[in-house]
Amino acid sequence: MPNQVNNKRGQKYDQSFKEQVLQKVRGGQSVPKVAIELGIRESVIYQWQGKLGTDDKRKISDLEKEVFQLRNQLKQVEMERDILKKTTAIFTKSG
């Protein structure tokens, strides 16, 4: 049963419920099927997809930035490691 609050404009669903609905759609269920199953309009689900999809894109963008930064850090550490290996090899040969 949906978590909702009645108001003058109709029904208002809480964020948790919206996310559960969208998870069903992302999981492969069609919007019409989910709408019928839960007794809500298809257009409402499409609106939620538009609004919450933007948040998902923002999260992905943040993750992509983090991955880029981590890759750069990894390259730096690998370069430092290679320099240390070469330095160690030089000193062990001359010693």
Q: For the segment 42-95, what is each residue's pLDDT rounded down to a tens digit? A: 999 989 888 766 566 667 777 888 999 999 999 999 999 999 999 998 888 865
CA dihedral 77, 80, 82, 85 (to 10 degrees): -120
Q: Where are the domains of the chain?
A: 4-94
**Rounded CA separation 7/14 (Å):** 13
Is residue 5 predicted with pLDDT exceeding 60?
no
| Matching residue, tokens 């559960």 | 20
The tens digit of pLDDT for each residue in 34-55 reads 999 999 999 999 898 887 665 6
Residues 67, 69, 74, 79: is their CA dihedral positive or negative? positive
For the full predicted model, state whether its pTM sits above 0.85: no
Residue pointed to by tokens 């909702």:
4
pLDDT of residue 33: 94
Q: Are 32 and 45 in contact (CB under 8 A)?
A: no
